[in-house]
């Protein structure tokens, strides 16, 4: 295992997010009068800590529980059992009224900017919305600052979301998330729905803003090569459980769990396919799933399924 020197963040920073043995079961509709209603075990006892100022990645295939976990951390959903502590406050059982002031400190960027931006609102009102909701003044100056921070011109504020490209719409989502000056930014597959040509730009923007604004970042992706570009540490999820957590470089170079080994072993194949590709090329090129459909299967030890040409669509994720 490569040697890893502890970062300043690890040695000195207080904990930003602590997730303790979180379970989330979703009941399914009853299918029989005699048998109990079936249950989806979306999270099966997940625990980890994120330090303040850290960039923490959560990686795993579709359906492993990443979005459920993020929703519980952001208090948009409740755990069946377990505890979530954000900046020292146990949010697990807080009422909506007591959660409201805490929500400013933790903002989310979602996968699909088109479905997360109200098409009837002008961009300046979209960006100001979190401030207005929290009862803060939303000055034109603040909106212009935010547009500039995400690389958009001031007149973008007068337009509507449909007048922008996918990458620009994700910049608007990021500006909106930053409006209340959060300390924690949660990004749920923020580049998966974007054209391959703009993924690296949006990732670099997130990375630069996290540095400049001294944010804690929780970054979710199904693609380990994307997480490697952005995060200091990564946790790997499979079927509602964490199978491995470590420094991203270590997990990438020497994965311990068979499932992580499968994730990583898919990446050199991708690099071979893109022969001579740079990191930037990898980020702007097809994802692992696009190149190797079915390579990351639900069972970490199972063989990849046979190729089905009809099912081989580029992975774009489902808007929620
Ligand atoms: N509201 C719900 N009701 C019932 N089952 C749900 C609900 N939300 C999620 N699930 C189930 O929980 C499991 C985990 O889903 P989740 O969306 O958290 O996974 P994910 O890793 O984020 O996947 P994706 O990347 O596709 O969003 C899946 O089996 C999903 O079908």
* pTM of the entire predicted model: 0.81
Residue 47 has pLDDT above 90, yes or no: yes
Mean local confidence (pLDDT), 288-316: 37
> What CA–CA distance (Å, rounded) separates 300 from 54?
28
Q: Could you tell me which residue, 40 or 280, shows the higher pLDDT?
A: 40
Mean local confidence (pLDDT), 194-200: 88
Buried b (16+ CB within 10 A) or exposed e, 107-144: bbbbbbbeebbeeeeebbebbbbbbeeeeeebeeebbb
> What CA–CA distance (Å, rounded) separates 255 from 259?
9
Q: Whose CA is nearest to atom 1 of ligand 1?
A: 26
Closest CA to 274 of 258, 262, 285, 290: 285
Q: Note the pLDDT of residue 57.
A: 97
Residue 115 has pLDDT above 50, yes or no: yes
- Cβ–ligand 1 contact at 155 (below 6 Å): no
Task: Tell me which of 67, 188, 289 to substitute to probe ligand 1's pocket, judged by most ligand atoms within 8 Å of the beta carbon.
Answer: 67
Q: Note the pLDDT of residue 102.
A: 86
- Cβ–ligand 1 contact at 227 (below 6 Å): no
Environment class of 218 (CB within 10 Å of its CB; exposed 0-12, middle 13-18, buried 19+): buried
Lowest-pLDDT range, 51-60, 102-111, 308-317?
Answer: 308-317
Buried b (16+ CB within 10 A) or exposed e, 178-190: bbbebbbbbbbbb
Q: Which atom of ligand 1 is least distant from the CA of 71?
A: 18
Q: Whose CA is nearest to atom 24 of ligand 1?
A: 62
- Cβ–ligand 1 contact at 65 (below 6 Å): yes
Closest CA to 43 of 11, 10, 89, 80: 80
Q: Note the pLDDT of residue 317.
A: 37
Q: What is the pLDDT of residues 90-102, one digit of tens each?
A: 999 999 888 988 8
Task: Tell me which of 44, 58, 63 to substitute to probe ligand 1's pocket, judged by most ligand atoms within 8 Å of the beta carbon.
Answer: 63
Q: Which atom of ligand 1 is least distant from the CA of 65?
A: 18
Q: Note the pLDDT of residue 22.
A: 98
Mean local confidence (pLDDT), 129-133: 86
Q: Which two tokens stand for residue 227?
A: 């997480």
- Cβ–ligand 1 contact at 130 (below 6 Å): no
Q: What is the pLDDT of residues 52-74, one digit of tens each?
A: 999 999 999 999 999 999 999 99
Q: Which atom of ligand 1 is least distant from the CA of 28?
A: 4
**Scanning the structure block, which residue is given the tokens 């079927």?**
239
Residue 269 has pLDDT above 60, yes or no: no
Q: Note the pLDDT of residue 92.
A: 94
Q: Could you tell me which residue, 297 or 134, shows the higher pLDDT?
A: 134
CB atoms within 10 A of CB 149: 17
| CA-to-CA separations, 221 to 70, 178, 237, 241, in angstroms, rounded | 12, 20, 11, 16
Mean local confidence (pLDDT), 2-27: 77
Domains of the chain: 1-28+38-105+184-254 (3.40.50.300), 114-181 (no CATH)
The mean pLDDT value of the chain amounts to 82
Would you give the DSSP letter of residue 75? T
Task: Tell me which of 38, 58, 66, 317 to substitute to probe ligand 1's pocket, judged by most ligand atoms within 8 Å of the beta carbon.
Answer: 66
């Amino acid at each position: 295992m490569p040697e890893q020197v502890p970062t300043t963040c690890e040695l000195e920073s207080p904990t930003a997010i602590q997730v303790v043995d979180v379970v989330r079961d979703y009941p399914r509709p009853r299918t029989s009068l005699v048998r109990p209603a079936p249950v989806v075990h979306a999270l099966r006892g997940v625990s980890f800590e994120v330090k303040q100022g850290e960039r923490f990645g959560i990686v795993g295939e579709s359906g492993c529980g990443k979005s459920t976990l993020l929703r519980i951390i952001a208090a948009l959903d409740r755990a069946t059992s377990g505890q979530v502590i954000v900046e020292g406050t146990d949010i697990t059982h807080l009422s909506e009224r007591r959660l409201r002031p805490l929500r400013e400190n933790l903002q989310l960027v979602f996968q699909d900017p088109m479905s997360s931006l109200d098409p009837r609102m002008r961009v300046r009102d979209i960006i100001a919305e979190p401030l207005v909701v929290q009862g803060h003044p939303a000055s034109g100056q603040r909106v212009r600052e935010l547009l500039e921070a995400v690389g958009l011109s001031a007149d973008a504020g007068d337009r509507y979301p449909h007048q922008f490209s996918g990458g620009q719409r994700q910049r608007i989502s990021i500006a909106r998330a930053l409006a209340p000056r959060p300390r924690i930014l949660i990004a749920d597959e923020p580049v998966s729905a974007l054209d391959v040509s703009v993924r690296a730009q949006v990732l670099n923007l997130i990375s630069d803003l996290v540095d400049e604004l001294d944010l804690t970042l929780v970054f979710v992706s199904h693609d380990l090569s994307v997480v490697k570009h952005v995060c200091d540490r990564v946790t790997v999820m499979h079927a509602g459980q964490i199978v491995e957590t470590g420094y991203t470089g270590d997990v990438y170079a020497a994965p311990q769990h068979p499932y992580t080994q499968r994730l990583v072993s898919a990446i050199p194949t991708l690099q071979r396919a893109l022969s001579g590709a740079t990191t930037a090329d990898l980020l702007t090129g097809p994802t692992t799933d696009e190149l190797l459909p079915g390579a990351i299967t639900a069972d970490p030890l199972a063989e990849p399924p046979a190729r089905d040409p009809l099912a081989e669509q580029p992975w774009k994720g489902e808007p929620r």
